[in-house]
Amino acid sequence: MRYPDLAVLTIQSLAMYQVISTFSGIGGSSQGYKQAGLKVLASVEFLDYQAANYRLNHPGTKVYQSDIRTLEPLAILAELGLRPGDLDVLDGSPPCSSFSTNGIVADGWGKVKQYGNREQRTDDLFFEYIRFLEAMQPKTFVAENVSGLIKGVSKGYFNQFFEAFESAGYKVSAKLLNAANYEVPQIRQRIIFVGVRCDLGLNPVFPQPFGKIITASEAIRAYQIDKSEDVSISDLQREYWNMTQPGQSMEDANFRKTGRKGWFSKMKLHPLRPANTITAHAGDDLFHWKEPRHFYTDELKALQSFPNDYRLEGSRIRCTEGVGRSVPPKMMEAIARTLAREVLDKIR
């Protein structure tokens, strides 16, 4: 499976529906909208090195490199020549590390924590996205978050967000989508909120699974890989790598050696399956199935469905972090195409 290169990507315009992306990172969701034929007018990103890589790949998009709390949504609309209600899609993936995958609210709720190379509170950012939604009143919105948001005590916050969307004037639906169902070679389950402004008289929609599953090895084979990076592993990691079968965690190897728990996030990927979830720590947590090493940044880009020539500059740790925090472009492309066809095309 080869993903389209930026340089040769042919985009069929869907009336150039306009998008503003918040918490945009290096631009995974924006790339998905672009591949679906939509136009991303502006993006908001807090981290300077993520915003820099966004600019490399989306030169036509205005980037607000700032804490979203300091921005006025109506001022942004005015700068773009828009009024409330004009925007077609408000996109956002607010960081929500306080929700674990098992639905337990982390002890750090409400506290300033490390995020990339900065420190900030992240658990209130979903409400900042809602503030933008209330002010901008776009025709539709798409918001992405971790699956832990619908589990355990975290579900109370899910309900709170859902009610806030409805109070802002939207018909809302939320669904757990697996990126592997949309030509992303990765098991990545995320909650996707889709909303349609109530006055438009249409319902939220989601893409149907494509039916074709792409394996990790299939995706990487189609890529041209820059192998100049240092992806070597430690002697202990090599020992555990030898004790671990493809598709398994190194947790068992660690327990057999030390009698202690740990290493559960260290995974030796299986070549004939989609990859495990690519996270911000994938550069250190994931290991190749055939060679005792970590993955090159280009390989992780392939597993996130980025185009081969999607440019990233900076240290390996910052580049792999950016890849891991991204919404897979192919997944967002599927969401955007469905939203354009089933909602936006019907109201233009």
List residues with catalytic annotation.
Answer: 96
DSSP assignment of 102-132, as one string?
Answer: TSPBPTTTTS-EEETTEEE--TTHHHHHHHH
CA dist 232 and 70 (Å) reads 41
CA dist 312 and 298 (Å) reads 9
Query: Which residues, in sequence order, are bridge partners of residue 89?
Result: 19, 140
Three-class secondary structure of residue 36 per DSSP = coil
CA distances to 64, 191, 250, 319 from 101, in Å:
30, 11, 19, 24
Three-class secondary structure of residue 44 per DSSP = strand
What beta strand segments (E) does 263-348 contain?
267-268, 286-287
For 174, the enclosing helix (H) or strand (E) is strand 170-178
Tell me the Cα Rg of the chain.
Answer: 20
Shortest CA distance to 29 belongs to which of 345, 334, 338, 344?
334
CA dist 198 and 22 (Å) reads 22
Shortest CA distance to 63 belongs to which of 50, 82, 81?
50
Q: Dig out the tokens for 81 from the structure.
A: 């020549």
CA dist 336 and 258 (Å) reads 48
Question: Do 173 and 192 form a contact (C-beta atoms < 8 A)?
Answer: no
For residue 187, count other CB atoms closer than 10 A to its CB.
16
CA dist 267 and 263 (Å) reads 8
CA dist 298 and 40 (Å) reads 24
